[in-house]
Structure 1
Amino acid sequence: MYTNNCVINTVCRNILFRSSIYMQRRWKSKKVHWSVLAKKKYPVDKALEHFDDFYKTVFGRKWPSIRLALLSPHKYCAVINNFGDSDTVVSDLQNIGAMNIRTLFELEKENIKTKKNEERRRRDLEKIFKLDRKLEQMAITKQQEEFESLYPHRESSEGTSVSADILNRSSSDTSHGISDNINREDDAESNRDGMSQKSLQSSLREAEFDSHRLIDPASGLSAGALYEYVPATRLKGMEDWIVESQHYGYYRKDTDFPVCVESDNDFIFPVHLQVNFN
């Protein structure tokens, strides 16, 4: 009897499975597709483009940091009541991950002081180095002039440091009284050597540099003058052309309201103020 019931149940299930109909449901999209919404520019995007276009030329390299600070979410802080158990509250806040602004301020102040000392030391060393080079150049120039006055037939560039063998030779010549014929032969030979082989310093001193390719910033030329000649790969009508310098021409550095960024190095943090933030 039990076997007959199992067979009947199986047959009924097969009949129901074969008679069932499956229909695929189609999910319709909204009136505005998500891709259209993703490409749409909202007023916030237009404002950011305007800020990037204008304030980047004003603040320069500092604008990315300013932009990030403006777009960052607000951080909340806790001001400690000094009339209560402030030490316990500060330790509890630090245990849960809060940071004390006073500690960060003191560390940053110490870093600024260290950087200032290093910068001052570097400037002093540069001054000393420039002074040493100047004195060395003066000594070389004076030594060169003395050498040229003693040996006018020699190249002045060869006398950057008077060689000891030339001085010894001259002293031996004067002491032993070498004849005038030998001196004339030495003069002719040295002249031929000087004409055939010129040193690098003398050739640089006599060289003529092409100064027409150099653009002096103090001449009053704008940056657009550097891009006046560009090999064209495609021609475009002048009525459809907008010069980039005209687009940024509304910003001028000589206006009545220049942006002056001054760093305050004497900022004093209040002694009894204890602020913690997470």
Structure 2
Amino acid sequence: MIGLTVTRSKILTRNSVLLNVLKRHRKRNREPKVTNSQRALEYFDIAYAPVYGTRWPSVRLALLSKPKYVAVLNNFASYNETVERFQTLGAWDIGKKYSAIRERMRMRQEQNQTVSHDQGEAPDEATATGKFVRPSLVELDDDELAARARLEPKGRYPEEYRQRAVAQSPDTDEFEVDVTSRVIEPSEAGSSLLMDYVPATRLKGLENWMEEADVFTHASQGDQEIGVTVVKQEEPIDFPKMLKIFAFEKGNISDFPQPRSDPQLRVLDHYAMDGASLLPVLALDVNPGDRVLDMCAAPGGKSLLVLQTLLPGLLVSNDVSEGRVKRIRSILKQYVPRGMSSIENMTVVTQKNGCLFREAEEYDKVLVDVPCLTDRHSLMEDDNSIFETSRTKERLKLPELQSQLLVSALQAVRPGGTVVYSTCTLSPLQNDGVVHLALSKIWQETTIECSIVDMSQAVQPLSFLYRFGSNLGLRYGQVVLPSLLTNFGPMYFAKIKRIR
């Protein structure tokens, strides 16, 4: 009898334990799991809101919406049918439209200069830059002009303009974020270059983070202290004649059809890519015969774009890992016909660590499209996300890696050559901040001298296609802000000339 009692007691105890385990398991299953995309969104809401202010809600919505692409026609395939198909769909030839806008701007400037000369007056700043008091509908996409939509009758402009105009009102309380305890003012970080704030990375739910501002302990100098000069590019950015790129107008979210294979040459007729990716390549300003290095080339879209200009004498597409190099080779194989010796001889794919690039002063142009937070990918995809908890250290080291890559690029370009640094993030630290850090290292550790090329005026004719961020305190580069009307980007790019 005693044995039965003991056995019964053991069974009850075991069942109780199993029941408690089952309850805890069910409770854990009921708790929502924090995804990588949710971590990314939380970080962006806290880090970007104080930087982009009233623009952040519309940018945020665009980042979470369907992205927009352009179609790059393959010069090594027969694409006449493709052009007709795109035109039937209502797509623009960007190059033709851009040329027409440039010509109109030139004619207006000449007319105004003639009138001013006859009246004995110098042209004002608006005339010189081609920006007039009453912008056209396509030019109104600049945020500083969006407020004008409030003064027009309802329906005069797309609703997004009106929403952005309302958001610019000082009394708006539509979007409030408590960021006072989670940002560091530039004075505390030892540098005043990060627009308005440097975000701290010690965010709720993200453990073992350090202050991003720690990266700038050795980059507190002003531009003059590190020998940086700024040169304004007054002429509009050049659009190579051989580039044939199609895009849908603002507000049109149509998709391009899938690429088709040329039956004779066995290559695809077009390549779809984020339209903002065009800008770093245009900023390079590749000239005939230039030796061009794409330092972080995978997956290969920008290298393909450089190749499609038919201008470089040599194109070296480099990346650090075997898997990334395979992606580059795959893209080139799909778009360059076999046996085309003239193209094959000028195209080289290498696998090297860009931070340790030993080819000093070998190239005329260097593109450094660095690994970054990849804002849109981080919000749309949970797989292979930089916001995985296991990649925290890698994420924190990104600014250091980026600055090392830019330093290496400035060493690889010849005196008189050009380096373009680009990212697909809105992070001020990884954009202007990294440029400042790299230039500081160059000044302290080498005899290289550089100048920043201010392209704010040069890119204005492209406002028919992009939403450029203005009045953001950017010192070195330009940024494309995603927008529901033109959902490209984000894309930051800075152009640097090596003087000696």
Task: Give the structure-2-normalised TM-score.
Answer: 0.19
Specify which structure has the bigger relative contact order, considering alpha-carbon pairs within 8 angstroms and separated by 6 or more residues: 1
Q: Which has the higher strand share?
A: 2
Task: Give the structure-1-normalised TM-score.
Answer: 0.31
Q: Which has the higher helix share?
A: 1
